[in-house]
Every structure is written in C-alpha cells, then in structure tokens.
Chain A
Amino acid sequence: MTTTTTTRQRTSEPRGVVVARRVGAPLAGLAGLLAIGWAIGFLVEPDGPARLLAGIYGFVGLEGEAQAIRERGIPSLTSKLVLGVVALTVGVGAVWAVFIGANAAVERLGARWRAQVLPWVFIGPALLLLGAFLVFPMASTIGTSLSEGEGAAGNFGFVFSDASMLIALRNNVLWLLLATGGSVALGLVIAMLVDRVKREALAKTFIFLPMAISMVGAAVIWRFVYAWAPAGQPQIGGANAIWTAFGNDPVAWLQVPTLNTFALILIMVWLQTGFAMVILSAAIKGLPSEVIEAARIDGARESQVFFRIVVPMIRGSIITVATTIAIVVLKVFDIVFVTTGGRFESDVVANRMFTEFFRFRNFGHAAALAVVLFIAVVPIMVINVRNLRRQGIGS
C-alpha cells in the first residue's frame, strides 16, 4: 500500500503541489512585477538605500539606528552595496518570478493562442529594452540632427562642406580602405603562411596578442613609438630611433599632415590583423585537402592555389572578417583621440562628433555626424547579414 502511494506521488504530483503551482506561479509573477516597479522607484531615488536600511532597522526593532540613518544618511559605500544587493535580487529573482508567472498565464490560454503568444512573452522584455536603449536613442539622435542648432540643412551642410569636416571625411575613407584592406590582406597572408610553420600556435599567439590590448592602450603605446625629439637628442621613440640610425633627421610622425593618418592606420592594422588571421586560418583549415592536392597534382603554382582555390573557397569568411573590421574602423575614435586629438589634419568623423558634443556643445552638429556614421555603417551591415544568410546561418 505504502509503496504504491509513494509511486503514485512520484509520477503524478499530489493535489497540494498542483494547487501551489497553479496559484503560486501567477502570484509569483505578480510579486515579481511589483518588485520590479518598486526597484525602479528605488533606483531613481537618491536616498533610496538609506531609507530602505532605515526601514529594515525599524522593522526589526532597532528604532535608534533607524532614526540615526534617517537623520545622517549612510556612507556612500554602504549605499552602493545596498543598491547592488537590491539590483541583484530584483534583477535575478523578480525577473525569474515574472517569467514563471507569465508562462503560467499563457498556459491557461487555448492551445491555438498559446503558440502565438508564448514567444512574445519571452522575447518581449528583450525587445522592450532594445527599444528603450537602441531604437529610441537612435530616433532621438536623428531628431536632434534635424532640429537642434542650425537645423537639418545647417547641420548636414556643415558635415559635407566645412573644410575641416571634408578632411575628416577624407580620412575616414582612407581608414576604411587601408585599415580594413591592410588587416584582411595581412591576416590572410599570415594565416596562409603560419599554416606551414612548425610552431604554428606560438606564431599565431604573438600575432593575435595585440587583440588583447584596448584601443586606448594601443594608442598610448604607439604614442611612445612615434615620439619625436630634436635632431641630436636621444630618440626615445622606437620609430625615430630606427629612422635616425640610418642617418635621417627625426620625423614627427604624428604631427605631419596625412603622414600621421597613415601612422595611425598602422596602429589599427596592428590591432586587427590578429583577429583576421585567426578567423581566416580556421577557414583555411576547414578546406578539404583533396581540392588543394588535386590542384597541385594538376600543376598549379602556389600563387594559383592561393588566388584561384583558397581565396574563392573562403570568400564567405573573408567578407565576414572584412565587414566586422570595417565597422570597427568606421567608428574609430580612441586611437585618434589619444594620439593627436584630431589636430594636424588627422581628424575622423567619430572624434569630431565627440569634439562637437563635449567641447563645443554643438549638439546639432554632433547628432548629424552620428547619423552620417550610422548611414555609412548600414550598407556594411547589409553585406554582412546577406553573407551570413548565404552561409546558412541567418536562415
């Protein structure tokens, strides 16, 4: 008897549990919603942590401590810790509860509706957040670019006619072509070459290493490499140390117009080649060796194998790498900001956007520049998505 009861309990849950689930889940959802609403109010309230702590003290009967906190506030570290605990609890616990509740609610709907509604319940919050933090700012930026400052014509007129802006746009084109092209080409060649090196992993590690350095860090390093000292003085910059060793006068790499843009592009190539190499190397290794062997047996030269067989076969990977790097390059800011600050005709669109916004408080110009950058990125995104689709990833 007892055995059968336990078995039955295991297979079909007892009434109590079932009731608890049917009632509890929606309740949990409701509680989660309330908790989230409360937490938002709590987060925007500057002395929220202090009031919460005072409330807790009061609740457990330590009225004296509660009173002290109400009057004097709490140290900022304590306040941050309380904030952190609340954020974690609500962020994990309450959101979990809301999903359980929503799930239970949807399950009560008819089977026809359930399939329709359920996906939205789960992606809904993500969509909401994307809307709040991506779509809304984008719309608001476009609005700013059309209305603030000198209006649409003035703001965009500035972008495409101001003498210094034309230089910045020219530089962005140089960056896009040379930094992207340079990284991909170098990455591809290196990927091809290391494929035959004995200590391949070691070689790849060294080339990949710059990827681990932040843009700002790289820019600071290269600032030293490009440092200039008057002729006859010790050259602390690596570039000038080598250059002057051959009897040349030191060159102010970062201060001579146009030369400095190439010097900066080199930093980006140094940073991104590793990324290109790793992806392309994986693609090369994925090639069926029979094809290449067949080509060699047919008498193809190495360059023919490379250009006629390898490159076409890993075309998809090359496009992915190129578009990814192109997007990074279009947005380039840190390198220019740290090294030249856009002076000496080395400005780029993103740096100018920063200058217009934070130095000049020219919000209309800054928004127009942001919109131009956004529009420039769109075609690259389209190429990327199409490429992914072709590879069967997006479908």
Chain B
Amino acid sequence: MRHRRFGVGAVALVLAVSACANEAPATSPSIEPDESEPPASAAASAEPTEEGTFLERAEAGEFDGTTVDVLAQWVEAEADNFEGNFADFEDRTGIDINYEGVTDYTTVLNVRVEGGDAPDIAQIAQPGLMRSLQADDRLINLSEFMDVDQLREDYIESFIDLASVDGDLYGLYYKADLKSIVWYPNAAFEDAGYQIPETWDDLLALMDDIKADGATPWCIAQEHGEATGWVTTDWIEDVLLRTAPLETYDAWVAHEIPFDDPAVVNATDIVGEIFFGEGNVYGGSTAINATFVGDAQNPMFAEGGPDCWLHKQAAWIPSFWPADESTDPPTPLYTPGEDSSFFYLPPIDPEYGKPVLGGGDMLVMFEDRPEVRAVMEFFATPEAAEHWTQAGGFVSPNKDVPQDWYTTYPSSGLAEILAGADALRFDASDTMVASVGLGTFWSGVVDWIANNGADTEAVLAEIEASWP
C-alpha cells in the first residue's frame, strides 16, 4: 500500500488567470511559454553578482564534487521522473543531488528538522507547514539570493504569494496539481450515449440517466489512515468556489468569516446531496469512509461494465488504477486518455464562472551553502521540469515551461482546463492552520459521512469552535 498526502493546497490566492489572459489570450495562461525567452535559460536566477549567479557558477563547475540532499514524497515511478529532471544538471555541474523519497515525508521532515539533521532541500505540500517552519526560524529566505521580481514574471503569481511570508519568499513552487476534474470510462460512456456535462444541471441529469440505466453514478472513497477526510474537504471547497464569490472563499480560509458561514453550509449541503442521495455512490456512505482512496476508481473497471461512472480526483489517480501485479514494476492495465479520461467539474452558479481548485508542491531550503543555492536556482528553470512534463503527470507552475512539452494525456488535458479557467484557488484544508485543516476539518467530515450527513450545521459549528 502506498500512502501519500495528495491533499495539497494553500491560502486562497488568485491565480491571476484573468490578468494573464490579457497578455496571452487563447492559450493557457499558466503554462504559456514566454516566447521571448528560450526555455533553457535560467529565467529565475539570482541577482547577478561579480561572479554571476550561483547557478552560473555551478554550470562553470565551481561546485563540482559537492552533494545536496533533497527530501520529497515522490517514490517509485514518480521518483524516477523527478530524478530524470536533474540528471543532466548533475552530469554538467558535478553536483551530486542525493534524493530521498519518503511517502510519510511530513513526519520524517519534522523529525530531521527538530533533530538538527534537516535535508538541504525538502518538498512541502502544505503552505501551513511551511509557515509553521518559518515561524520557528527553520527556513532559508530565498529572497536573499533569488530575484523575486523575475520569479513573479515567470511564475503564476499566486504561487509566489503562497510561498511568501511578510514579503519574503521561503518556498519555490515546483509542481502544480488540479483537483476539479472528474474521471469517466470513455468507451462505456460513449456506448451509453452520455454527454460530457457542461453545467451542474447537466451533471445532475447525467446522474439521473445513469441511475435510470440501473447503474451507480459516483465512485467516492477517502479512507487514508490519519489523512482520511481530504477527499470530502476537496469536494466542499470545489463546490464553495462555484457557489460563492472568491472573496468569501479567501475570507473563509483566512478565518476572517466563521468556518460555518452560511455559504459553507450551503456548499456542504450540495455535496451532501450527491454523497447521500439514494443510489448516488457505489457502496453508499460506508464505502466512502471504508474504501482506500487509491481504490476508489477500481469499480469503474469492473469486468461486466462500470459499477460506477464518475470519479472526482486529481490527475495522479491513474497510478493507482488496477495493474498487473505479476510484473515488476506492475504493468498498467488501463491508459489514461483511452480507458478513462476526465472532464472539468461543471460550474454551478454562472455568476462565479469556471474556478479551479488546485494545489502544488513547493521546495524549501534548510541549509545555506552555495551549491544548495545553485540547485534551488536550477529548480526554478524550465529545464528542471522537462523530463517529468514530457513523461506525463507533471504540470509546472513555471510559465516558461513550453506548452509543447505537455504532450501526454493527463498533462495536456490539465493544460486545456487551466486555459479555460477563470480563477484558481488553493486547497483550503492544506492552507488553514494545521490543527483545523489537517485535523478537525477532516475528522468533522468523516463523522458527518459516518452519520449519513446528519446535522451539517452542527458539524461545521464544531469545527468553527475548534479553531485555535
């Protein structure tokens, strides 16, 4: 069993998609390559000094023979892809990037940091954790050597704000993630004559059609040990973005309005209608809490046709689809884009447009050495995303990463959705203070599901009361 924290997210910050759209209409604002600049250039490098940036000094071979330790959650195939991103860099510069992938990386990271054995660079998915480490004075301020103004131009701006504390940059967003997508079985979908829903009413009608055909619309499962609950909180956040102004979402995340604001109650009720409606979810509400999150979509691939037809989950889910386990590594049995594709979770209130719920992984720095600075600068270049982007399943928040690198399915589909999006907001639960976002919010919705959606307002009021 592989355990990962997928829930990713952050303070509600506007992905300045609408703003960017003015500069680059008709293409994805977020991953639009800046044509004026060749992708391989160190777009986000340090302020030049007499000796050049640390990256330039590394390229000149100055740090040959040094080692930089990197800790992140990516293991197995993802680890190979990540290492592929910097293999050439290592060869060129002679810097040995010693990568360690740990699924339960938050625990390992906290142990190592508090034990005085912090890695040089680590990946963090929760901005809340980054802020907490920064408050304890554990992180290196990247603004001291990186050109933040340049980064603001190269990156989706909200990612920079999200990784900043009091105007100083402490994290570099490296990998972006979209959560507002719904997977469906391509062939069966077409055979049944179903249409991709464009509006919420379409979606509800599709659910009725599926039920009328004697099947179950949704695959929903969230059992994930101590992280159980984040699938539901993602749902609530996605619906809230579609039923309330962005300002409400932002204020909710920052706790400027009560956690149980009427808008949140309303969003939770809409989620409840899907979760607890008769025959809506495969296995009923018990299945939501009792089925491992990675197994959620398995019934869609049942031999006698899909046992459930729709699955809302981020683009990493294909690595958990049924595979032939007799080989090493297991051979995938189903191909994303062919056996199952995704569509954008439709908008609800046209007034709020087409928002996207996203997340991402940032890299933070614990040890300040020249070679570590060079590696951080390298991770800000498009080249540091090339291998994984082309392998698929990786979306870079760096706009200089050329569009034509996104060739394989999940990435190309995500790029398309981002292009049509009106706004992007980060996963609220990962951005809120940890004891709520990773604590009572999760346990609250888990209890809510265990009780079949009873007393929604009381559940949310209890979470509000738990805010420290």
Chain A residues in the interface with B (C-beta under 8 A): 71-73, 76, 162-164, 228-230, 252, 254-257, 337-338, 340-345, 351, 355-362
Contact = CB atoms under 8 A, between A and B. Distances in A.
A337 B104 CA distance: 12
Contact of B434 (A164, A229, A255, A359): A359
* Chain B interface mostly: helix
29 contacts: A71-B65, A72-B65, A73-B65, A76-B98, A162-B466, A163-B462, A164-B443, A230-B282, A230-B284, A252-B286, A252-B289, A252-B290, A254-B290, A255-B286, A257-B447, A337-B225, A340-B225, A340-B228, A341-B226, A341-B227, A343-B226, A343-B228, A343-B446, A344-B289, A344-B447, A359-B439, A361-B132, A361-B133, A361-B434
Contacts of A73: 65, 67
Interface residues of B, number: 38
Given A230-B287, A360-B438, A257 B226 contact: no
B129 interface: yes
A252 B132 CA distance: 36
A359 B226 contact: yes
A71 B106 CA distance: 34
Contacts of A356: 435
A267 to B, nearest CB: 16
Given A341-B228, A343-B229, 16 more contacts: A71-B65, A73-B65, A73-B67, A76-B98, A228-B287, A230-B287, A256-B450, A344-B289, A358-B106, A358-B111, A359-B106, A359-B439, A360-B435, A360-B438, A361-B132, A361-B136
A255 B290 contact: yes
Given A163-B462, A255-B286, A256-B450, A355 B67 contact: no
Nearest to B462: A163
A286 B462 CA distance: 57
B70 to A, nearest CB: 14
Among A73, A343, A356, find the residue whose CB has the most chain B CB atoms closer than 10 A: A343
B440 interface: yes
Contacts of A76: 98
B332 interface: no
A164 B447 CA distance: 12
A228 B290 CA distance: 6
A34 B290 CA distance: 60
Interface in B248-295: 282-284, 286-287, 289-291
Nearest to A71: B65
Contacts of B447: 257, 344-345
B103 interface: no
B450 A362 contact: no
B118 to A, nearest CB: 12
A73 B95 CA distance: 12
B331 interface: no
